[in-house]
């Protein structure tokens, strides 16, 4: 295994352990996000572009 892959896997595992906390947080408004609400500003949306 390449050294960078080990770090990638460790980082991914750390993020995955934190996911449930973020999903329950009102700060992230998961339900709003799933219904189409976005916290991005106009300029950010312009830079990201359309997903479709």
In the chain, domain spans: 3-48
pLDDT tens track for 12-42: 999 999 999 988 988 888 899 899 898 889 9
Q: Phi/psi at 26 (nearest 5 deg)?
A: -70, -25
Q: Inform me whether the pLDDT recorded for 52 exceeds 80.
A: no
Q: How does residue 51 score in pLDDT terms, banded at 50, 70 and 90?
A: low
pTM of the full predicted structure? 0.50
How far apart, in whole angstroms, are the C-alpha atoms of residue 45 and residue 32?
17
Sign for the CA dihedral angle at 9, 10, 11, 15 comes to positive
**Whether the predicted pLDDT of 50 surpasses 90:** no
């Amino acid at each position: 295994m390449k050294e960078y892959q080990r770090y990638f896997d460790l980082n991914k595992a750390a993020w995955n352990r934190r996911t449930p906390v973020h999903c329950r947080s009102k700060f992230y408004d998961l339900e709003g996000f799933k219904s189409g609400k976005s916290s991005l500003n106009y300029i950010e949306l312009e830079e990201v572009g359309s997903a479709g």
